[in-house]
Amino acid sequence: MERSGPERAAADLGGRVARGAGWILAARLVMGGLGFASAIIVARLLAPEAFGIIAVSVTAMQLLQNVSDFGAAQAVVRFRDAGRGELDTLFTLSALRGGLVALLLAAGAPLAAAFYGDPRYGWALLGASLCPLLSGFNNPRFFEFERAIDFSRDFAWQVAAKLASAATAILVALAWRNYWAIIAGLVAGAGVQLVLSYALRPYRPRPSFAAWRRVAGFSGWLAGVSFFAALNNKIDSFILARLLGATGAGTYYYGLQLADLTTRELAQPLARAVYPGLSALQGARERMREAFLASVEAMGAIALPASLGLAFVARDAIALLLGEKWLAAAPVVAWLAPVLGLQTLLAAAQYYAMALGLARFVFAREAAFFLIRTPIFIWAALAHGLAGALAAAAGCGALYVALNLRLYARASGRPLWEPLARARRSLIAAAAMAAYFLVLRPHLDALAGAPVAARLAADVAAGAGVFVAAMAGLWALEGRPAGVERRLARLAAGVLARPRAERPE
């Protein structure tokens, strides 16, 4: 049967989103591999104290960048008719923002040195100030690729920058063995991104405010969202550096980076590709809702097993890859990885609301979360140290999931439990995996005395096997409906059939 016009358009859009997600996933996998390898090497060369210093300086940089973020990329995607006026206005605002952030970091350097009683905090802030200065001059026209759901150039852009960053960090760490290795890597990556943004999409921007009103109308709410999101995501390091010192803050910071690794590198690429796809469906609310729910289902199959599995193998993974000095970060990963996986399940809720023009709902979510989470985190860290901070972060992370469900309900007018129902098989399979590790795994005495590498490999294989078996069984019980399992089954069948097709007669 021949497809109708809307069906062909939907299939074409779905294919472009899938290809876009594939490019982003490939970039994240390559970047994740490079970042993971460089992080292991640098972590073995540097002491946890160095990461405590970096936690403050990098967090300060990211905080100022995020609170001043007005959504240049999102604006280019949203304004499908953007011309020179909009692009030059976005470039001008971005350059001014980058310069202002750099000045604030430089001005705060002596204050940080005095506050923490260590001049290294000040020097680290000065070094970090170069990153926003460089990134502020990035080419806004480069984001037209994202609007077209063409992420192949983004792949080259990000991977080249990560390669430069990783190589620089390792070389400087080998030479100096201090926190400057990480700063140098960040600056190198920002410089490469600046150059490539113009090399891959030539454009000569001019200072202009010609489209100020249009840009401000869209970006005003996004700036508020960025402000509170930055506070929610970055304030922990400042608090813990003051309460627990550089070593405690470094342990938390590095553990958080590890906990977020699986969701950041595997699931979030899909969430990013969804936004231009949803924006292309403006005016077709039901199709937008279905596209969002499909993303929830797909991310559940990726984020939940990866994050939950990481939590259960955290101690062995850290001991094997990072060494004994980083074992204190294992509880951070164990507490936070599952919550981050649940949060990633609904990562596209923000893009769904933004594509509907409801950025004010996203702003309300971030503001409410900040007002609830911050006092709880500070009290818990003061009263119970690192353990209290972890409990507060995990508990408030579960609250964030509820707020995302509420955001979906407000944006769609549908029941808030609908996304969870769509991901039901992944949620049940994740529960089966947890049951294996909590109930059965402690009784497998043969693994207790095995070498760390063998035990880790066995646990990863067993956890993945339980999840896949449970998910496949649930899918079969439901009559093999259309969904992520069918797409994965077709993909696996194609991969297995290829060697047979290429085999000579």
- Report the pLDDT value the prediction gives residue 463, as an integer from 0 to 100: 96
Tokens for 74?
């999102």
- Report the pLDDT value the prediction gives residue 1, as an integer from 0 to 100: 45
Tokens for 246?
């550089």
- Report the pLDDT value the prediction gives residue 193, as an integer from 0 to 100: 95
Give the residue carrying structure tokens 């960090």: 169
Nearest partner of 299 among 348, 259, 258, judged by Cα: 348
- Report the pLDDT value the prediction gives residue 491, as an integer from 0 to 100: 67
Nearest partner of 337 among 358, 307, 312, judged by Cα: 307
- Element (DSSP H or E) covering residue 481: none
Neighbour count for residue 435 (Cβ, 10 Å): 13
Tokens for 498?
């290829």
Nearest partner of 303 among 261, 365, 352, judged by Cα: 261
Tokens for 414?
């549908």
Q: What is the pLDDT along the chain (505 residues), one digit of tens a residue?
A: 444 444 454 445 555 666 766 777 777 778 777 877 887 888 788 877 788 888 788 888 988 887 788 777 777 776 767 788 888 999 999 999 999 999 999 999 999 999 888 899 999 999 999 999 999 999 999 988 887 777 788 888 988 999 999 999 999 999 888 889 999 999 999 999 999 999 999 999 999 998 887 777 666 777 788 788 878 877 887 888 888 887 788 888 888 888 887 676 666 666 666 666 666 666 678 888 888 888 898 889 988 999 999 999 999 999 998 888 889 899 999 999 999 999 988 888 888 888 787 888 999 999 999 999 999 999 999 999 889 999 999 999 999 999 999 999 999 999 999 999 999 999 999 999 999 999 999 988 778 888 999 999 999 999 999 999 999 999 999 999 988 888 777 766 665 565 555 555 5
User: How far is residue 100's CA from residue 68's CA, in Å, rounded to a whole number?
Assistant: 9
Nearest partner of 220 among 65, 74, 400, judged by Cα: 74
**Amino acid in position 129:** S
- Element (DSSP H or E) covering residue 117: none
- Report the pLDDT value the prediction gives residue 450, as an integer from 0 to 100: 85
